Amino acid sequence: MNRPFVAARAVTLFASILLLPVAASAQRSPTGYTPPKRLELTPFGSYQWGGSFDTQGFSNILAGEINEQGSFSWGAILSFLAAGNSAVELYYLRQDTDVNFKPNAGQSRTVGSGFSNNYVQLGVRQGLPKTEGIAPFITASMGINVLDADNSSSSTRFAWSLGGGAKWMAANQKVGLRMDIRWMVTPVPSGTYGTWCDYWGCYVTSGTDWLHQGSAGLGLIFAF
């Protein structure tokens, strides 16, 4: 076998080995294909309203209603994308607001400032069929709400939320917009107490009131 022929075969074999990863990559990632993202970070701003409860059962407060004023809130959502157009989400939301008190007999007045709600929630997001590039979804979560006031100790309460919204992603699937509407519920002590007895003895239980809030916001999605 002549030497030029052997050299030509060696060069061809060497070139094939070098180009093999490129060919395999081209088969796995055809032109225009974008690998799916697994993580989304969404900082957002929103408007939050609601947050009132009755004071009828408190012996040291006049009978009436305490109400949190509507105000701007902000936070971030970290989404771990899963199969079936769903995601596990961790989110934080903070609202700084003033508190009004309206007695049963009298005018409403501001009784405190520097009050905040701090929601830390873990939940799920389930996508719905897309419509012209817009992907609607529903959400549910549970966690805590840290009720904090200046010159007072904070109170950490169990809380949950239900909501929905929609998101839109750019063609590169790296950035997008997200709109959320949430209903958030925090059980708080009502100031009333009850007693009940059984074979083992008698017990005192504290009543519960419900702090309801709504939130509507818009966020910027960064996908990774």
**62-112 pLDDT tens trace:** 667 778 899 999 999 999 998 878 999 999 999 999 988 777 777 777 766
Provide the CATH number for the domain around residue 57: 2.40.160.20
Instruction: Based on the fold, state whether residues 15 and 59 are members of the same structural domain.
Output: no
- Residue 105's pLDDT is 72
Instruction: Based on the fold, state whether residues 86 and 158 are members of the same structural domain.
Output: yes
Instruction: Based on the fold, state whether residues 71 and 111 are members of the same structural domain.
Output: yes
Instruction: Based on the fold, state whether residues 26 and 133 are members of the same structural domain.
Output: no
Instruction: Based on the fold, state whether residues 189 and 97 are members of the same structural domain.
Output: yes
**The domain containing residue 11 runs over which residues?**
1-33
Instruction: Based on the fold, state whether residues 23 and 112 are members of the same structural domain.
Output: no
C-alpha angle 31-22-82 in degrees, rounded to nearest 5: 55
Instruction: Based on the fold, state whether residues 162 and 78 are members of the same structural domain.
Output: yes
pTM to 2 decimal places: 0.75
Instruction: Based on the fold, state whether residues 22 and 100 are members of the same structural domain.
Output: no
**161-203 pLDDT tens trace:** 999 999 999 999 999 999 999 999 999 876 555 555 666 666 6
Instruction: Based on the fold, state whether residues 112 and 10 are members of the same structural domain.
Output: no
Q: What whole-number distance in Å separates Cα of residue 210 and Cα of residue 208?
A: 7
What total number of domains does the chain contain?
Answer: 2
Measure Cα distances from 123 to 29, 76, 88, 89, 162 in Å: 33, 14, 6, 5, 9
Mean pLDDT for the stretch of residues 22-34: 50
Instruction: Based on the fold, state whether residues 88 and 8 are members of the same structural domain.
Output: no
| Lowest model confidence (mean pLDDT) among 141-145, 180-184, 203-207 | 203-207
Cβ atoms of residues 141 and 89 within 8 Å: yes
